[in-house]
Amino acid sequence: MHLVVADEAQKTERDRHTYAAWGSPLTVEQFLQREQRLRAHPWSRDTLRTWLLCDGSGRVLTSCETFRTPSYLRGPDGQYTRGDSFVIASVFTEPALRGHGHATRLMDLVATELERTQPGAQAAVLYSDVGARIYRRSGYQEAPAWDWHLPVGQGDAGLQVDSLLEDADVPAALARMRRPDVPFYLWPEAAQVDWHLERERIYAELLRRPRPKACGAVVNASTALWAMMARYGELVVLMLDARSEEDAAALLEAAGAQAHKAGLARVVLWEEAGTMPWVARLPEARREAREGSLPMVRPLREGLPAAADIPFARALWA
């Protein structure tokens, strides 16, 4: 078995296989369009690689993608070293080839290749939809994963905030957000956040449904960014930097109003330690164990903290 970096024809061929896992409710052709557009996005063009595990005859046994994203590791002097972490996505083995350890072998080989070829590599990260067991075999450890489900509202989306944000406002909004004060964290660039908005644009077009009028909001010094997940009828909060309980309530109320106007059923916020007590006191807020997208981390260098001590905003997901 050997590792191959896929070319464009091989990527398209894998798309036809992976449709069964991630294509619904799109048609096959719509899913192929989705994948082509996402790969053409600037963040993907700069950071994406598709990996194939092949046997001696060249047959593909399993595949995955990696996206490079900035990460920061604090040293003994208190200063952060900028590095790269690699988000592993779309791990897929065809049903007839499962049960032979191919995915585990792929995870091991990709991590080894990243360690060998990427001098600034700090961690490999994935968001498992199949639990933790299969990836623990390859040295990944999971972090707790909880969601807050918030109701949509019928109020004025801009009533309690200073301004609503459009797609072009993302770079400035991201720049004003506070970085986590922790030993190690990943931090998305504006192109990565816009990749989530590109997914929103694609699904809005293909499913013929309206997009939310705003992708975030600002109140005082606090900021939120969000995106529609049309497949699930949700507005997901990508990042939330709330400086007070009142600001958190105002930003999430604005998100709920945007969700209502777009015909979405709920707002979903990934739990982070800094805002959890404030969110818990919101009317009708409901905390649920996350069913998928379980954050897992494999260190690619020494000195990283345990996965449970690393914050994961929804914007980091791929």
Judge if 57 and 122 occupy the same domain.
yes
Average pLDDT of the segment spanning 105-124: 97
The answer to whether residues 86 and 180 belong to one domain is: no
Over the stretch 19-37, which tens digit does the pLDDT of each residue have? 999 999 999 999 999 999 9
Q: Which pLDDT value is given to residue 304?
A: 96
Q: What are the tens digits of pLDDT across the range 230-273? A: 999 999 999 999 999 999 999 999 999 999 999 999 999 999 98
In this prediction, residues 273-301 reach a mean pLDDT of 94
Does one domain contain both 58 and 153? no
Distance from C-alpha of 147 to C-alpha of 242, rounded to nearest angstrom: 17
Please tell me the distance from the alpha carbon of residue 199 to that of residue 71, in angstroms, as a whole number.
23
Q: Which pLDDT score, from 0 to 100, does residue 187 have?
A: 98
Note the pLDDT of residue 157: 56
Q: Length of the chain, please?
A: 318
The residue segments making up the domain with residue 224 are 146-289
| Coil, helix or strand at residue 126 | strand
* pTM (predicted TM-score): 0.96
C-alpha atoms less than 13 angstroms from C-alpha of 229 in its C-beta half-sphere:
17
| Residue 127 in tokens | 């968001």
Statement to judge: residues 164 and 104 lie in one domain: no
Residues 6 and 140 grouped into a single domain:
yes
Q: What is the radius of gyration, based on Cα positions, of the chain?
A: 20
Which pLDDT value is given to residue 137? 94
User: Do residues 307 and 257 share a domain?
Assistant: no
Res. 213 pLDDT band, cuts 50 70 90: very high
Q: Is the pLDDT of residue 154 over 80?
A: no
Average pLDDT value for the chain: 96
Question: CA nearest 251: which of 238, 261, 264?
Answer: 238
Average pLDDT over residues 111-117: 96
132 and 209 housed in the same domain? no
Is 243 in contact with 235 (CB distance < 8 Å)?
no
The fraction of the chain above a pLDDT of 90, given in percent, is 96
CATH number at residue 208: 3.40.630
Same domain, 7 and 140: yes
| Residues 154 and 276 reside in one and the same domain | yes
Question: What pLDDT does residue 92 have?
Answer: 97
Q: Is the pLDDT of residue 156 over 80?
A: no
113 and 150 together in one domain: no
Q: How many domains is the chain partitioned into structurally?
A: 2
Per-residue confidence band for 99, with pLDDT thresholds at 50, 70 and 90: very high
In single-letter form, the type of residue at position 1 comes to M
Average the pLDDT over 217-234 and give the result.
96
Q: Which CATH number is 88's domain given?
A: 3.40.630.30
Residue 203 sits in the same domain as residue 285: yes
Judged against a pLDDT cut of 90, whether residue 153 lies above it is answered with: no
Residue 174 scores a pLDDT above 60: yes
Per-residue pLDDT for 225 more than 80?
yes
